[in-house]
């Protein structure tokens, strides 16, 4: 009976914790692979900017006129263009 309960607990953990996390990681990887010039992004540190150049592992972001910063692709959190269009749709 104890083994059955432990098995059921594992299944619950899988569907409520592990699987959604894997799905989110897969979506983030897909987003980072599809980065292209001109997209407005937000880094994990909260920096907003526009993608100027994309290489294999890094992204060059223009934060302000003449201010360009290079980040690892893994530091890009989300596409602020999509976020802005979703916010305007809600308004």
pLDDT digits (tens, 9 = 90+) for 9-54: 888 888 888 888 999 889 888 888 889 999 999 999 999 999 999 9
CB 77 within 8 A of CB 32: no
The pTM score is 0.66
Indicate if 57 and 28 belong to the same structural domain: no
Residues 29 and 39 in one domain: no
Q: Which long-range contacts (CB under 8 A, 24 or more apart) does 6-10 make?
A: none
Residues of the domain holding 66: 35-91
In angstroms, the CA 61 to CA 46 distance is 13
Instruction: Give the lowest-confidence range in 30-34, 62-66, 78-82.
Output: 78-82
Q: Is the pLDDT of residue 69 over 60?
A: yes
- How many domains is the chain built from? 2
């Amino acid at each position: 009976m104890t083994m059955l309960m432990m098995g059921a607990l594992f299944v619950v953990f899988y569907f409520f914790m592990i699987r959604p996390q894997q799905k989110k990681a897969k979506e983030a990887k897909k987003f980072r692979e599809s980065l292209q010039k001109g997209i407005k992004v937000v880094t994990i540190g909260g920096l907003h900017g526009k993608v100027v150049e994309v290489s294999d592992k890094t992204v060059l972001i223009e934060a302000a006129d003449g201010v360009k910063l290079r980040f690892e692709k893994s530091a890009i959190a989300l596409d602020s263009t999509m976020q802005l269009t979703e916010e305007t749709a809600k308004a």
